Amino acid sequence: MKLNDPGRRWPLERVLFALAGTMTLLSALLAALVSPWFLLLTGFVGVNQWLYVLFGACPASIVLRRACRLRSAIYANPREEMML
């Protein structure tokens, strides 16, 4: 089965990457059109990306794991995720 088959769910990392990119573009647009204070959203996204890199979890990954039942493509065994 190919990764882009409609019947297959995206892995957690792919959804997180899409979410982070969307939020970064949105914050840049809002900063340009509304207020530069929206750049704080960009900083928040960056901090959460580093949390995922360093600890294997960030608030968004925890929510997506529990609410959407997404699984990591990197860690085949869910216990390996918690060992980081």
Q: Would 74 be classed as within a structural domain?
A: yes
Please give the residue range of the domain that contains residue 51: 12-82
Q: Would 55 be classed as within a structural domain?
A: yes
8 A C-beta contact, residue 20 and residue 42: no
Residues 6+ apart with CB under 8 A from 38: 27, 30, 31
What's the number of domains the chain is made of? 1
Q: Would 2 be classed as within a structural domain?
A: no
Q: How far is CA 9 from CA 1, 29, 35, in A?
A: 11, 29, 36
- Quote the tokens at residue 36: 């530069």
Task: Tell me the pLDDT of the chain (84 aa) as tens digits.
Answer: 455 555 678 899 999 999 999 999 999 999 999 999 999 999 999 999 999 889 888 898 899 889 988 888 876 665 555 554
Q: Would 7 be classed as within a structural domain?
A: no
Q: Would 3 be classed as within a structural domain?
A: no
